[in-house]
Structure 1
Amino acid sequence: MTRDLSRLFRPDSIAVVGGGAWCASVVEQCRKMGFAGAVWPVHPNRCEVGGAAAVPALGDLPGVPDAVFIGVNRHTTIDTVRQLRDMGAGGAICFASGFSEAQAETGDGADLQAALLEAAGPMPVVGPNCYGVINYLDGALLWPDQHGGTRSDSGVAILTQSSNMAINLTMQARGLPLAYVATAGNQAQTGLAEIGRALLDDDRVTALGLHIEGVGDLRAFEALADRARASGKPVVALKAGRSDQAQAAAISHTASVAGSDAGARALLDRLGVARVDSLTGLLEALKLLHFAGPLPGNRVASMSCSGGEASLMADTATGRDITFPPLRAEQHAQLRAALGPMVALANPLDYHTFIWNDAEAMAETFAAMLRGPVDIGCLIVDFPRPDRCDPAAWDCAIEAAAHAARETGKPLALLATLPEALPEALAERITAAGLVPLAGLDDALTAIETAAWLGAARPQPAPVLLPGEPPQPETLTEAQAKAALAGHGVPVPRARRAEGRADLERALRAASLPVVIKAEGLAHKTEAGGVAFARAGTQEAMQAALAMPCDSWLIEEMVDDAVAELLIGVVRDPAHGFVLTLGAGGTLTELTGDSTSLLLPVSAREIDAALARLRVARLLDGYRGKPAADRAAIVRAVLAVQDYVAANAPHLEEVEINPLICTPDTAVAADALIRIGEER
């Protein structure tokens, strides 16, 4: 169900229920921010709250409120919500805690949350255990505390699942215009994705920043991404939980390299949501997106008046998807005319300090750099601290940069390598000049990399394959797993199972050597001495098999001419779907950490692109004159695994092929594992 949150987030009238300091703060903050609508406190015993006249009950209000901040205890909250629903109110923020998020402590939290949902019916409710929302565009604050923002005509929206982090983010002093700061609380009724869609619906919002602890409803999150794509508004996320990968409990390699963090990354990549790994990176990325939008590419022109800064820029960009295109001949000529014969011309450029204060020469230098095949320029300028120094001598940099940006029509950032070297007042001057203020070299490059990633064209993604909840999944034997996968088109070696000494001897005599002998029932056969190769001679093969810690074996044909070994794994990730992991297989899986993850379903094109990202791709392509692997056969094997997963999604836990032996002619699953529950 999609609820209309417009009255709640963009109200003409606000009611505040309760009389504590939190409720008084809501009233005071609305007045302080110049909210033009009505603010109606409600309290049974007080004549005023926060300096505004109060009425004793909701029924005494002069009208039906668009938005309501409920700051009373959890039991009274439920009764209040029911009254508001019956009145036709536009929605409510539930500040009280003690609902499902506190079930372990209170014992009745889940029951109270169910009662809250019943009381709300179709009326939107955000929270409980929620600070609420700040609308800086209209000065409407359903917010029970201090904040650091100011009114704006347009800006970015930031949505978090942590109220305290939301407060901290309002305190940024980076020159980032904020349109909304909102919190989701425990999302009893209205989830993160639904709130995000409502914020994007405001034409004055330019981009959306998310701090995500858990995605929640996958279909709702897909709808959020669709809304962002349709509106042309980029979304950047900071996803908590990178350490979950180390906590994944499973018996296979796949779970140890896939985990929930890989699932989150794969989901965000799939939906076109950019991911950053720090709050400062989030803020700088949102700032660049607000002022310049997604970039058409990752090509950067870097300018500084210091060789050390030029080197630092190049070094900091190492390992990032950022390039510094070499200068063209016409740029050389233009720069030489502006800078003379003593400057070494390159990108990044050290233009030296002798042209400082020569605004005309500086402007021509900056413009010449921007005239090349670049998507954004970066002028490194660390301003002196205004409390002890005079920054007036740096005005020439702003003036020249603004001229160059206007002349070329390309975005130009004034980048301070140290965040404290770009005070907020200067950041506002820079934006007024049509430039982008970026604070901190590493975060600035994160912003550029993010904006370039968001600017790339992407196809509309297919809906994520939703996982089930398999009851008590069990591990199939290798033979059972291979038979199940073969039924969906995965190539497997010809094999015979042997149980007991006599059956083993018969199987070996009947086999066409060479063969591989495998012990059954071992999770990691190679490490446990459960694999032997029989190339000639039955007696030697018998001795090797009988030395294994088992009573039954698989006798398989040997796959020769291997170009490389790969891992194909799929893990059920309840929060994100089925995570497909492709990586180096065999003994290299844990040794190299060479893997990449996607969410099912995937296309042949996506599989091929993922294989190309692996370091082992050089082997697949034919390394040092050796034959290449049959890439199409590998892709077909992955698609066959996907077909099996789709057919068994409601009760499947995990699939792994390791190794998939890749030859010039085929790709064969030499070992397989499946964990699956019974069909319900």
Structure 2
Amino acid sequence: MLKPPRSLERLLRPRTIAVIGGGPAAEVVRQCDRLGYAGDIWPVHPTKDEVAGRRAYGSVAELPGAPDAAFVAVNRHATIEVVRDLAAAGAGGAVCYASGFRESEGQDAGSNGLQEALVEAAGAMPILGPNCYGLINYGDGALLWPDQHGGRRLQEGERGIAIVTQSSNILLNMTMQRRGLPLAYVLTAGNQAQTGLSDLALALLEDPRVTALGLHIEGFDSLSGLESVAARARELKKPVVAMKLGRSAAARAAALSHTASLAGSDAAAAAFLKRLGIARLDSIPAFLECLKLLHVTGPLPGYALSSLSCSGGEASIMADAATGRRVTYRALTPDQARAVKASLGPLVTVANPLDYHTFIWADVAAMTVTFSAMAAAGFDLNLLVLDFPRGDRCADAAWQPTLEAFAAALKSQNARGAVVASLPENISEAQAEAMLARGIVPLAGIDEALAAAEAAADIGAAWRTPLPAPVMTAQGAPGETKTLDEAAAKALLARHGVAVPPGRRVAGAEEAVTVAEELGFPVVLKALGLAHKTEAGALRLNLGDAQAVRAAAGDLAKLGKDLYVERMIEAPLAELIVGVLAEPPFGLVMTLGSGGVLAEILRDTATLLLPASRAEIEAALLGLKSAPLLTGYRGGPPADLAAAVEAIEAVQRLALAEAGSIVELEINPLIVSTEGRGAAAADALIVWKESADV
């Protein structure tokens, strides 16, 4: 990715716009007029005297000056020449609308050279795309956008969120939302041939009219660029959320065909975003609702929610919707419960979520007392479930007192609050905008509301910890590889401080017996050179005497492999899998999880990018479903968690020290004994670059 050294200021906030081409270029003019753009617009067309009511110029060379921004809507071959002319004229930047560049070739199918030629033609001039719609600046009314859109211009002093995507159609759809979400900018990056999402994100964060940033990511343009975005977002206190595609193989393939972007594995992508404090949402509605919440409240200080509704059914739905999430409905203390109870009377059961019944419906004073008592309990976000009747057939006057009481309660307690409609259509755009003006977040959909709150709390938690070190970038394709057998792999692990059971390579049954007697019974006997020993019948456990070793060696000799004798690890409390993979574009990716035969059955894993801190490693282990085995399940003894973390740190040291050579490393299982008795690698596999020395 070539980083444009020139500022994006002129492109994003242009005072003059050139539009080059036919129909799409004319539509840019019409959309600028519709939004009230006050700058000059200069159409360029070789045969027309006029485009959309503006005088047309025959070429870029004939323009009255160097445009701040240009929309280039000609075919892909002509695009290269027009971009070259714009760069030579000193233009501030260009949107390249045409497709048929790298995205039409596929990542590995070779190149026709057009995308490379386009980047070369642009030189230092920033370009968006190719294969993109461009941008809309709702603050200044400036568009380089060849289609309709659903946004409105920001008023003087108004602020909004910014969204950057690679998909033009997805972004077009987002502008059509009727959720009250104020938009300051929308931008598409297309193929990211030169200017990527991280470049655009950094530029948008600097605009004081932008409150929060949303990224719709098909493929990462630059890991270091996004690390810079995360750091700057913290400095400016402007949270960033993302929708990262690629949870399925089909989605990763689609991303490749769409923009020729390498999506990478979903687990690694999720770990990278979490590492940076960029919250990830999995649906467009949740993505938009989270941006709306962050626009008003910023990151939440914690995960504690309150819920108010006048229906027991709604209270139950709200409770169920939090199941499996990190957000919780913290119970009221006895004093807090008494304060709420006093405002409601004896017939109401006080709980969180609270069904306040309809006894006080339409009584603003009574509802204000109840809502204030809940808000005074110090929840990180207070939710009021309120679905308004449809405006074309019904009246909502009876619902307004509830909203007034909620607003008064939030103000009196200086608390954060959101109104949640169970159905998106049950808050109109006008109602949503009116709530936003009062500092109340209108959230559409219960699941979306809780997903938004969880993401906002995740960002708050991330911002309370230091930014991690930059990730270890990938070292390129491995080429030819070799797999170390277990004896060689364990020797390498031991050199880097990973505990391994005493063991030795042997040539036959008698040497196996001799070594077993030296190590001490019971022992394990293995055939070397097989990746899955259990399935291959290449493993014998708990051999207690020379006769058992001799018999096992005879059986394993049929596999035609060298043998390995190892002292048996007694009384393991837990088994973990520890893996490291060199995975572009993320570099070294570590997987921790339940190990042994359960590794593929439970798929209970956590993913970290290296380097990872000790705190991150420990948090990943304690976040596993099997974590109770480590901490002491049902009164059982705790595992030696410290030894497990130390072993994983040693694996990390090995991986970082050998980053240019290692392709894959797996310990399965890492056997963790009871507290104070350590952790050791019972089996290991390492794949190495053929050219590397072990």
Alignment of 1:236-635 (within 5 A): 236-244=241-249, 260-456=265-461, 457-469=464-476, 470-500=478-508, 503-504=511-512, 507-508=515-516, 512-548=520-556, 549-635=559-645
Any conservation in 2 of the 1:245–1:262 contact (CA below 8 Å)?
A: no
- SS at the partner of 1:301? strand
- Paired AA for residue 648 in structure 1: E
Matched, 1:9 2:16: no
Residue 104 of structure 2 corresponds to which residue in structure 1?
A: 102
Deviates more, 1:402-411 or 1:444-453: 402-411
Alpha-carbon distance between aligned partners in 1 of 2:684 and 2:225, rounded to the nearest angstrom: 34
State the shift of 1:204 in Å: 0.5
- SS at the partner of 2:371? helix
Gap regions ≥5 residues in structure 1 = 249-258
Alpha-carbon distance between aligned partners in 2 of 1:107 and 1:647, rounded to the nearest angstrom: 34
Matched, 1:657 2:667: yes
- Paired AA for residue 42 in structure 1: V
Alpha-carbon distance between aligned partners in 1 of 2:482 and 2:645, rounded to the nearest angstrom: 28
Any conservation in 1 of the 2:267–2:607 contact (CA below 8 Å)?
A: yes
Any conservation in 1 of the 2:595–2:669 contact (CA below 8 Å)?
A: yes
Any conservation in 2 of the 1:285–1:451 contact (CA below 8 Å)?
A: yes
- SS at the partner of 1:186? coil
Any conservation in 2 of the 1:475–1:676 contact (CA below 8 Å)?
A: yes
Alpha-carbon distance between aligned partners in 1 of 2:181 and 2:519, rounded to the nearest angstrom: 72
- SS at the partner of 1:335? helix
- SS at the partner of 2:535? coil
Residue 50 of structure 2 corresponds to which residue in structure 1?
A: 48
Alpha-carbon distance between aligned partners in 1 of 2:501 and 2:250, rounded to the nearest angstrom: 32
Alpha-carbon distance between aligned partners in 1 of 2:382 and 2:35, rounded to the nearest angstrom: 36
Deviates more, 1:96-105 or 1:277-286: 96-105
Alpha-carbon distance between aligned partners in 2 of 1:7 and 1:651, rounded to the nearest angstrom: 45
- Paired AA for residue 229 in structure 2: L
Q: 1:435 to 1:17 in 2, by over 3 A?
A: same
- SS at the partner of 1:15? strand
Decide which of 72, 91, 94 is 1:92's aligned counterpart: 94
Alpha-carbon distance between aligned partners in 2 of 1:104 and 1:246, rounded to the nearest angstrom: 14
Decide which of 183, 189, 206 is 2:194's aligned counterpart: 189
Alpha-carbon distance between aligned partners in 2 of 1:439 and 1:176, rounded to the nearest angstrom: 11
Deviates more, 1:68-77 or 1:508-517: 508-517
- Paired AA for residue 500 in structure 2: V
Q: 1:405 to 1:508 in 2, by over 3 A?
A: closer
State the shift of 1:112 in Å: 1.4
Deviates more, 1:197-206 or 1:331-340: 331-340
Deviations 1:163-193 (A, max 9, x none): 1111111111111001111111101111111
- SS at the partner of 2:131? coil
Deviations 1:137-166 (A, max 9, x none): 111110011111111231111111111111
Q: 1:184 to 1:609 in 2, by over 3 A?
A: same
- Paired AA for residue 406 in structure 2: A
Any conservation in 2 of the 1:244–1:261 contact (CA below 8 Å)?
A: no
State the shift of 1:513 in Å: 2.1
State the shift of 1:121 in Å: 0.8
- Paired AA for residue 662 in structure 1: V
Decide which of 1, 25, 38 is 2:27's aligned counterpart: 25
Alpha-carbon distance between aligned partners in 2 of 1:327 and 1:110, rounded to the nearest angstrom: 65
Alpha-carbon distance between aligned partners in 2 of 1:327 and 1:562, rounded to the nearest angstrom: 42
Matched, 1:672 2:684: yes
Any conservation in 1 of the 2:591–2:607 contact (CA below 8 Å)?
A: yes
- SS at the partner of 2:563? strand
Any conservation in 2 of the 1:260–1:576 contact (CA below 8 Å)?
A: no
State the shift of 1:276 in Å: 1.0
State, as a whole percentage, how many aligned pairs show the same letter.
Answer: 54
Alpha-carbon distance between aligned partners in 2 of 1:497 and 1:107, rounded to the nearest angstrom: 45
Decide which of 122, 125, 132 is 1:123's aligned counterpart: 125
Q: 1:596 to 1:231 in 2, by over 3 A?
A: same
- Paired AA for residue 31 in structure 1: D
RMSD: 2.1
Alpha-carbon distance between aligned partners in 1 of 2:49 and 2:394, rounded to the nearest angstrom: 52
Deviations 1:568-596 (A, max 9, x none): 11112202221111111111212222221
Deviates more, 1:387-396 or 1:415-424: 387-396
Any conservation in 2 of the 1:500–1:551 contact (CA below 8 Å)?
A: no
Q: 1:171 to 1:348 in 2, by over 3 A?
A: same
State the shift of 1:358 in Å: 1.1
Any conservation in 1 of the 2:513–2:549 contact (CA below 8 Å)?
A: no
Residue 260 of structure 2 corresponds to which residue in structure 1?
A: none
- SS at the partner of 2:318? helix
Any conservation in 2 of the 1:263–1:598 contact (CA below 8 Å)?
A: yes
- Paired AA for residue 607 in structure 2: S
Matched, 1:70 2:72: yes
Gap regions ≥5 residues in structure 2 = 254-263
Q: 1:266 to 1:188 in 2, by over 3 A?
A: same
Alpha-carbon distance between aligned partners in 2 of 1:637 and 1:216, rounded to the nearest angstrom: 34
Matched, 1:230 2:235: yes
Any conservation in 1 of the 2:575–2:594 contact (CA below 8 Å)?
A: yes
- Paired AA for residue 557 in structure 1: R
Number of residue pairs matched by the alignment: 669
Alpha-carbon distance between aligned partners in 1 of 2:68 and 2:531, rounded to the nearest angstrom: 60
Matched, 1:204 2:209: yes
Any conservation in 2 of the 1:398–1:433 contact (CA below 8 Å)?
A: no
Alpha-carbon distance between aligned partners in 2 of 1:371 and 1:105, rounded to the nearest angstrom: 56
State the shift of 1:387 in Å: 1.6
- Paired AA for residue 551 in structure 1: K
State the shift of 1:224 in Å: 1.4
Deviates more, 1:648-657 or 1:532-541: 532-541
- SS at the partner of 1:284? helix
Any conservation in 1 of the 2:8–2:93 contact (CA below 8 Å)?
A: yes
TM-score norm. by structure 2 comes to 0.93
Deviations 1:592-626 (A, max 9, x none): 22221111101222212222212333222333454
State the shift of 1:458 in Å: 1.8
- SS at the partner of 2:105? helix
Q: 1:581 to 1:312 in 2, by over 3 A?
A: same
Alpha-carbon distance between aligned partners in 2 of 1:317 and 1:215, rounded to the nearest angstrom: 31
Alpha-carbon distance between aligned partners in 2 of 1:332 and 1:558, rounded to the nearest angstrom: 57
State the shift of 1:550 in Å: 3.5
State the shift of 1:247 in Å: 9.6
Q: 1:13 to 1:109 in 2, by over 3 A?
A: farther
- SS at the partner of 1:123? coil
Any conservation in 1 of the 2:149–2:175 contact (CA below 8 Å)?
A: yes
